[in-house]
Amino acid sequence: MSFEGKNVLVTGAGARGGIGAATAHAFAREGASVVISGRNAERGADVVDDIIADGGKVRFVLADLSDLADVERLAEEAGDIDVLVNNAASYRASIKPSLDQDVETNAETWDTNVRATFALSTRLVRGMIERGGGNIINISSIAASIAMPHMSTYGAQKAAVESFTRSWAAEWGQYGIRVNAVAPGNVTSDNVVDFIGADQFQDWSQVNPVRRNATPRELADVITFVASDRASFVTGQVIVADGGRLAV
């Protein structure tokens, strides 16, 4: 695969040890000029340093995607984008028993997970149409497809992202734009393990046939493949990378 001459934006990539950072690394290794966004400038600088040290081209834009003005500013500062990876996600207020949640607390998660995906995609796709093509990869979750305790809100948000994926593929395919989603199962990203707890997360590794959790690098490999010309006839799909969890 080669992304030479391509400009790639990966949201939620401003921290080491996550799917976003691993995906940014993967695109940079294949020659892309990468823009990453995140909510912490210091952590974002660490990811930039890592990618540059590996010979990649990257820059960081500080942005909180729960803030619509920041979404618009990110789109402006990112410039012409050929591949958009909507990876940023908020979950700390939405993964808990439904009766322990409330609308006000969850507003930030809806704004980040659903509104920002819509706003950023529809903003950047206009340039893709003008240039004759592009790629959008939305990061979903198997929580959109199966009943999981404490995942009602997060699952609904990711189901909305998958609905965007199918509709946009149908709407924008005529312009040479492919839209797909990647739905991970359990991935050992640092933030998620910290939130769930290492022991609990290790227990979850036993629920799929391969008896382990994925690494961020493995998800990054799926994402870059789906964005590459090797997947040129794939659009409107949800690519599940869950170690077989949905098969059992």
- pLDDT tens, residue by residue, 4-45: 999 999 999 999 999 999 999 999 999 999 999 999 999 999
Q: How far apart are the first and last CA of the chain?
A: 32
Instruction: Return the closest-CA partner of residue 141 out of 107, 117, 169.
Output: 117
pTM, full prediction: 0.94
DSSP 153-166: HHHHHHHHHHHHHH
Contact 156, 214 (CB under 8 A): no
Quick one: pLDDT band at residue 198, thresholds 50, 70, 90?
low
Which superfamily, per CATH, for 7-185+217-247? NAD(P)-binding Rossmann-like Domain (3.40.50.720)
pLDDT of residue 196: 60
For residue 92, pLDDT beyond 90: no
For residue 108, pLDDT beyond 90: yes
Pick the catalytic residue: 3, 27, 91, 154?
Answer: 154
Q: How far apart are CA 208 and CA 246, in angstroms?
A: 8
What are the beta bridge partners of residue 57? 33
Q: At residue 99, what is the residue type? A: L
Ordered by start, the domain boundaries in the chain are: 7-185+217-247
The reply to whether 154 belongs to the active site is: yes
Higher pLDDT, 73 or 208: 73
Percent of the chain with pLDDT over 70: 94
- For residues 207, 203, 43 and 25, what is the CA-based torsion angle, rounded to 10 degrees? -40
The DSSP 8-state label assigned to residue 151 in this structure reads -
